[in-house]
């Protein structure tokens, strides 16, 4: 199965869920495409945080600095505002300086640190929670 077919299968599973958002950035022409960025967001209804969307945004390192992440983030923020959400939340690894700078330029602020969140390549890695209030 091709990568695009895998994506189509995944999208068909969440396409009708109003509490989910997904955008995929592709590059290429004709039948040759490559995923270069994604943003996936969701809300959890029935909880005290139902005004908040949790999300993950990723851009392939070879395509960083070309505005892909910014455009994905803009689409996410539009989706959130259309639904009356008041904030966005994400997490990054503490050593991800580029991701932290990107988030800060978009208006995200550090809210919490989980110091022993994961072990990556044998080293303990902290996780940083970032939030943005939508005005």
Please, is 28 exposed, middle or buried when counting C-beta atoms within 10 Å of its C-beta (0-12, 13-18, 19+)? exposed
Looking at residue 61, what DSSP letter applies? G
The pLDDT score that the predictor gives to residue 32 is 82
Residue 1 has pLDDT above 90, yes or no: no
Residues in the chain: 135
CATH class for domain 3-133? Answer: alpha beta
Q: Which residue has the higher pLDDT, 49 or 89?
A: 89
- Per-residue pLDDT of 61-77, as tens digits, reads 999 999 999 999 999 99
pLDDT cut 90: percent of the chain above it: 67
- CA atoms of 127 and 125, how far apart (whole Å): 7
- Per-residue pLDDT of 74-120, as tens digits, reads 999 999 999 999 999 999 999 999 999 999 999 999 999 999 999 98
């Amino acid at each position: 199965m091709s990568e695009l077919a895998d994506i189509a299968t995944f999208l068909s599973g969440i396409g009708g869920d109003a509490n989910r958002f997904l955008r995929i950035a592709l590059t290429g022409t004709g039948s040759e495409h490559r995923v270069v960025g994604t943003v996936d967001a969701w809300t959890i209804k029935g909880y005290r945080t139902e005004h908040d969307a949790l999300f993950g945004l990723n851009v392939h390192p070879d395509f960083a600095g070309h505005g892909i992440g910014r455009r994905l983030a803009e689409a996410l923020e539009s989706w959130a505002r259309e639904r009356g959400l008041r904030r966005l939340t994400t997490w990054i690894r503490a050593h991800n300086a580029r991701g932290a700078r990107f988030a800060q330029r978009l208006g995200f602020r550090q809210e919490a640190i989980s110091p022993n969140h994961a072990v990556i390549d044998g080293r303990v890695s902290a996780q940083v929670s970032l939030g943005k209030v939508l005005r």
